[in-house]
Amino acid sequence: MNAVRERNESSWLLPDDGRRTNHRLRDAMRRFDTDDEVDLVVVGAGAGGGVLTQRLARAGWRVVCLDAGPFWDPDRDWVSDERGSHGLYWTEPRQIGGDDPVPLGSNNSGRGVGGSMVHYAGYTPRFHPSDFETFTRDGVGADWPIDYADLKPYYAAIEAELPVSGQDWPWGDPHVYRYAPHPVSGNGLTFLKGARAAGIEARVGPVAIANGRFGNRPHCIYRGFCLQGCKVNAKASPLITHIPDALAHGAEIRPDSHVSRVLTDQHTGRVTGVSYFFEGREFRQRARAVAVAGYSIETPRLLLLSADSRHPDGLGNDFDQLGRYLMVQGAPQTAGRFDAEVRMYKAPPPEVSSEQFYETDPTKPYKRGWSIQTVSPLPITWAEHVTAQGHWGSVLREYMRDYVHWATLGSLCEFLPQARNRVTLAAEIDRHGLPVAHFSYSKCDNDKALMTAARESMEAILRAAGATEVMTIERYAHLVGGARMAARREDGVVDADHRVFGVPGLFVVDGSVLPTQGSANPALTIMALAARAADRLVAGARSGLAHEAVS
Ligand SMILES: Cc1cc2nc3c(=O)[nH]c(=O)nc-3n(C[C@H](O)[C@H](O)[C@H](O)COP(=O)(O)OP(=O)(O)OC[C@H]3O[C@@H](n4cnc5c(N)ncnc54)[C@H](O)[C@@H]3O)c2cc1C
Ligand code: SF4
């Protein structure tokens, strides 16, 4: 009901059927010539790049946003099928290494307009105020050059635009959601029951899934394919929220365009545009400024590939900071077997969460914490969970037949930023002849302790709910960092206004800039940062400072 009442209050929502409007906007899209010097080129149309493009198009800037992947049409391109969704993922070659290599692909990043949010689960929690000063509070991680109060109004704005549904939120900075929580399925009910019995608080939400119709978008049909790209358009992603509005305000979205280099003027050091591959040919787009928003692996890679005579080690890398402090969250998942049928697939995977263990507990030997959420794997992912226990053959088949009796929870552990966890360029090249990214990752002792504690908490909840058997798989999720925000150029790649140190006209506006990650899913924070960055760019342009070098 809320959604119906508010459908005309968000003026940037399109009033008629979303699919027809999206097609019409794409057909009528403004197109710039590559020789036009546009105000801004954005590299990547995901969480950060999508919001930045929309905000600056609304501010009257001439913006071209290039994305390496397709301009998805949910009706035509997506299927409600795990195997059939493979094309949504970034499957270009990448190398992994370190003591604890992080598998890349489906679970980490997407390609195409909408970015990784096309196949993200849909959880949209805020970071806690403590996340912005973990070094001061807990002696680990890093302090951001901005604090929670700087982002708070942008969190509220993005929550209204997606929109986010959920119960009142007691953790971090307590806040409420304008849209009521969704009804809960067997998996969510199991979590709520087990948490209550174990003395742990859990709440429904927060999810960026419209509860009821919202503007031009239909309601959720609870079929559970959120991680395969929501064909229904009930789950928010920039593809259906901010990109259509960007088009309506004159931005150009150029899909299938892989940016190979940020171009700079060797005399002035200023950014002059980008070069990119489209259908096997290389083009250039001139621009007064460039914002890189290509995800935590591809953003540092592109800045490394853009080395010039002034910056022989890569743009923003004068102090050997580029690619460092890349983080993943430890994301163990625990399944519990129940005599009654649970049918965890019959709902969006994101339903219920707890942030009870988010903050540092002074009685424990480790710092920081973890969150717990429902995850609800579909059958292929369920098979991965079972085979990870070493089950094969007839035993594996028996577990697969038993699928409807299992409930599954996942944790997000706040793994700490470490300088040695970084992206560099490998000797291997991709189909464009560009060196691919090498991502080296090793856990520290604090990370390992958090993973164990998170596992124990999930097993306790499921057993308290009546599980007769539990099994846990250790995994990772959500890459952030690699071009982090810092007060001093010696400590990071961008300043508090997302300006790359030492390169006038260059910005990074995606998850790469995060100095810490909390144990919240990152997309809402990335979008809020992008909305704030847009305001800072507009204010800087008015003062004439936006494109000047920052040192
Ligand atoms: C399976 C899965 C589940 C997730 N679930 C959640 C969740 O529930 N909640 C949450 O908050 N987060 C979730 N995430 C994470 C979230 O989606 C990402 O953190 C977020 O989208 C990252 O935003 P970004 O702007 O940094 O990059 P992205 O959104 O990934 O956008 C980057 C874009 O840049 C493009 N690109 C890259 N390199 C180039 C280049 N050289 N030239 C042109 N374009 C380029 C890519 O094609 C891509 O479209 C999930 C992610 C995955 C994969
Ligand atoms: S469960 Fe709802 S949000 Fe998820 S894919 Fe289905 S309709 Fe979309």
Per-residue pLDDT tens digits for 11-30? 444 434 455 556 778 888 88
Report the pLDDT value the prediction gives residue 546, as an integer from 0 to 100: 55
Assess whether pLDDT exceeds 70 at residue 4: no
412 Cα–ligand 2 center, Å: 22
Ligand number with the minimum distance to the CA of 111: 1
Do residues 246 and 234 lie in contact, with contact meaning Cβ atoms separated by under 8 Å?
no
CA atoms within 13 A on the CB side of 328: 27
- What is 213-235 written as a DSSP string? -BTTBPPP-----GGG--TTS-B
In testing the pocket of ligand 1, which one of 43, 91, 108, 109 has its CB within 8 Å of the most ligand atoms?
Answer: 109
Ligand 1 pocket test target in 82, 85, 117 with most atoms within 8 Å of CB: 117
Q: Can you give the pLDDT at residue 17?
A: 43
Q: Given 3-state DSSP classes, what are the helix, strand and coil percentages for the chain, each rounded to the nearest 5? A: 30, 20, 50
Atom of ligand 2 nearest to the CA of 219: 7
Percent of the chain with pLDDT over 90: 85
The pLDDT tens digits of the residues spanning 300-327 come to 999 999 999 999 999 999 999 999 999 9
pLDDT-based confidence at 542, cuts 50/70/90? confident
pLDDT for the residue 214: 87
Indicate if the pLDDT at residue 523 is higher than 80.
yes
pLDDT band, very low/low/confident/very high, at 2 (cuts 50, 70, 90) = very low
**For residue 334, which phi and psi values (nearest 5 degrees)?**
-120, 130
Q: What is the pTM of this model?
A: 0.95
Note the residue count of the chain.
551
**Nearest C-alpha to atom 3 of ligand 2 is from which residue?**
235
Per-residue pLDDT at 16? 41
Q: What is the pLDDT of residues 333-368, one digit of tens each?
A: 999 999 999 999 999 999 999 999 999 999 999 999
- The DSSP letter of residue 38 is B
Q: Is the pLDDT of residue 114 over 50?
A: yes
**How far apart are the CA of 198 and the centre of ligand 1, in A?**
35
pLDDT greater than 90 at residue 548: no
- Omega before 170 within 30 of 0, i.e. cis: no
Q: Is residue 222 lining ligand 2, measured as CB closer than 6 Å?
A: yes
Considering every ligand atom, which ligand is closest to the CA of 291? 1
- Please name which ligand lies nearest the alpha carbon of 242: 1
pLDDT of 508 > 90? The answer is yes
For 435-444, how does the pLDDT look when each residue is reduced to its tens digit (9 = 90+)?
A: 999 999 999 9
Can you tell me the distance from the alpha carbon of 156 to that of 238, in angstroms, rounded to the nearest whole number? 17
Per-residue model confidence (pLDDT) at position 215: 84
> Cβ(85)–Cβ(105) under 8 Å?
no
The answer, yes or no, to whether residue 137 has pLDDT greater than 70, is yes
What is the pLDDT of the chain when averaged over all its residues? 93
How much of the chain exceeds pLDDT 70, in percent?
A: 94
Residue 84 clears pLDDT 90, i.e. is over it: no
Question: What pLDDT is recorded for position 9?
Answer: 40
Apex 289 CA angle, 498 and 514, nearest 5: 20
When pLDDT is averaged across residues 483-489 and rounded to a whole number, the result is: 97
